[in-house]
């Protein structure tokens, strides 16, 4: 049982867990997460069965990733408990330091030089212990490793909160329009493109975010796996779509209105006569006999878009195809078909502000702990009437410093040193 306990709180186990978590995180970054099964079948032909079986399509919510996080929290908790218990029991550090045997013997001149160095240059506090004196400084430095481990534990816990507490919303938005979130944050889609200037596929949106307090982000371009961060929001380029676009004009008074069509709709003035919009197709094939075969699927922008509509007038319905630039007049309504509009599908992730504050506090505490650990080591030196000994958690540095200072005043080394 002790072997299991010691292994669970060992550094080796912690490093193994960190490596496994890092591997999962890499997989979650390389493989787009939470897409439809068809996406993985199309883009990872032979690998998609393994991706789905290992849940690499949703790594961060998989059972094994959650278990790894829980085990890392256990490891860090045990490490922190062991350290704080050891520090709590170490209240008699100075008394035990006063009982150390001298590791070096000094001449009278060396003794004076040592005391002057400890008090005037290092500004150590002198504490009498029997006939000896213990000079100490920065005893709080012993807590550096505990603070570091505790801060790492808090970072993992708060990081898990940041991973599992956020609300995720999927929204579509036409270029030039904005989405208003429940907290009145506005997310504006300045533009969207499927292809870049070279004609290569490049699903990307230009986004601007305005928070309720008036803070406004710069316009940022987001792509798949390259989201935008601003305030409590993280916005991903999730998917895309293509919508029909028409301009409807009232023939009688000349009033015009533009419509973006994403589903079937009836454009009418009187509720009976008008134009039914059924669907938009990305292209067509013109046969030798003059018949048109519509193309259902196409990757990228629609090259030869075709509108499928029905004209309703006096109870009769006539099916028709329309191309950008075509016009139909029915029921006093003139409908002009425009070029389709590409629009993005956004995944909007909102993390509670308090979680970000807690994460920042954990990182700050970790920085403080690391600084104390490496730069504020305790100084503990016992000085007897004839010699001295260096104690503390890591005495090597101080020992070498004093040996260099007192080299000519050292007498023959006597007994082995004993550190508290």
Greater confidence (261 vs 91) lies with 261
Reported confidence tier of residue 201, pLDDT bands at 50, 70, 90: confident
Q: What is the mean pLDDT of residues 158-173?
A: 91
pLDDT value of position 90: 65
| Beta strands 379-383; 132-137: pairing state | antiparallel
Q: What pLDDT is attached to residue 337?
A: 97
> What pLDDT, on the 0 to 100 scale, is given for residue 394?
82
91 — pLDDT class (breaks 50, 70, 90): low
Q: Does domain 93-138+377-409 have CATH number 3.30.310?
A: yes
Please provide the average confidence, as pLDDT, over all residues in the chain.
Answer: 90
Question: Averaged over 338-366, what is the pLDDT?
Answer: 94
Strands (E), 220-273: 220-223, 228-230, 233-250, 256-261, 265-268
Contacts of 182 by beta carbon, 8 Å cutoff, 6+ apart: none
pLDDT-based confidence at residue 412 (cuts at 50, 70, 90): low
- The three-state secondary structure class of 1 is coil
For 239-284, write each residue's pLDDT tens digit: 899 999 999 999 999 999 999 999 999 999 999 999 999 999 999 9
pLDDT over 90 (residue 132): yes
DSSP 73-124: HHHHHHHHHHHHHHHHT-TTHHHHHTTPPPSEEB-HHHHHHHHHIIIIIS-P
Q: Given a cut of 50, is residue 415 above it in pLDDT? A: no
**Between these two residues, 398 and 91, which has the higher pLDDT value?**
398
- Report residue 414's pLDDT band, with 50, 70 and 90 as the boundaries: very low
Question: pLDDT exceeding 90 applies to what percent of the chain?
Answer: 68
157-to-9, 76, 215 alpha-carbon distances in Å: 17, 11, 29
Token pair belonging to 212: 């309720």
pTM above 0.75, yes or no: no
In this prediction, residue 9 has a pLDDT band, given cuts at 50, 70 and 90, of confident
pLDDT reading at 419 higher than 50: no
């Amino acid at each position: 049982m002790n072997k299991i306990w010691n292994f669970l709180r060992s550094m080796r186990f912690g490093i193994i867990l960190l490596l496994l978590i890092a591997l999962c995180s890499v997989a979650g970054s390389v493989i787009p997460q939470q897409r439809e099964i068809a996406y993985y079948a199309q883009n990872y032909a032979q690998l998609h069965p393994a991706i789905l079986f290992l849940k690499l399509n949703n790594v961060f919510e998989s059972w094994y990733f959650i278990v790894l996080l829980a085990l890392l929290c256990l490891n860090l908790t045990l490490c922190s408990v062991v350290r704080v218990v050891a520090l709590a029991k170490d209240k008699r550090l100075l008394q035990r330091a006063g009982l150390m045997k001298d590791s070096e013997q000094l001449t009278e001149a060396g003794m004076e030089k040592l005391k002057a160095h400890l008090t005037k240059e290092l500004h150590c506090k002198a504490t009498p212990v029997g006939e000896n004196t213990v000079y100490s400084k920065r005893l709080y430095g012993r807590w550096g490793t505990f603070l570091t481990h505790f801060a790492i534990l808090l970072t993992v816990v708060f990081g898990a909160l940041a991973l599992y507490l956020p609300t995720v919303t999927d929204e579509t938005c036409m270029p030039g329009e904005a989405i208003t979130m429940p907290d009145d944050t506005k997310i504006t889609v300045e533009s969207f493109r499927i292809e870049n200037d070279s004609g290569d596929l490049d699903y990307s949106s230009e986004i601007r975010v305005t928070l309720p307090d008036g803070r406004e982000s710069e316009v940022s371009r987001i792509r798949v796996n390259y989201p935008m961060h601003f305030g409590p929001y993280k916005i991903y380029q999730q998917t895309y779509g293509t919508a029909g676009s028409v301009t409807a004009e009232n023939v009688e008074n000349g009033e015009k209105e533009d419509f973006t069509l994403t589903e079937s709709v009836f454009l009418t003035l009187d509720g009976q006569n008008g134009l039914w919009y059924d669907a938009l197709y990305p292209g067509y094939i013109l046969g030798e006999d003059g018949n048109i075969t519509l193309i259902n699927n196409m990757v990228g922008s629609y090259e030869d878009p075709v509108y499928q509509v029905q004209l309703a007038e006096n109870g009769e319905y006539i099916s028709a195809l329309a191309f950008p630039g075509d016009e139909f007049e029915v029921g006093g309504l003139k409908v002009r078909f425009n070029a389709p509009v590409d629009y993005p599908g956004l995944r909007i992730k909102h993390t509670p502000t308090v979680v970000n504050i807690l994460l920042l506090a954990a990182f700050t505490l970790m920085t403080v702990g690391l600084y104390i650990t490496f730069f504020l080591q305790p100084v503990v030196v016992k000085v007897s009437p004839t010699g001295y000994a260096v104690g503390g958690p890591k005495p090597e540095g101080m020992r070498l410093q004093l040996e260099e200072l007192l080299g000519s005043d050292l007498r023959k080394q006597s007994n082995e040193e004993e550190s508290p």
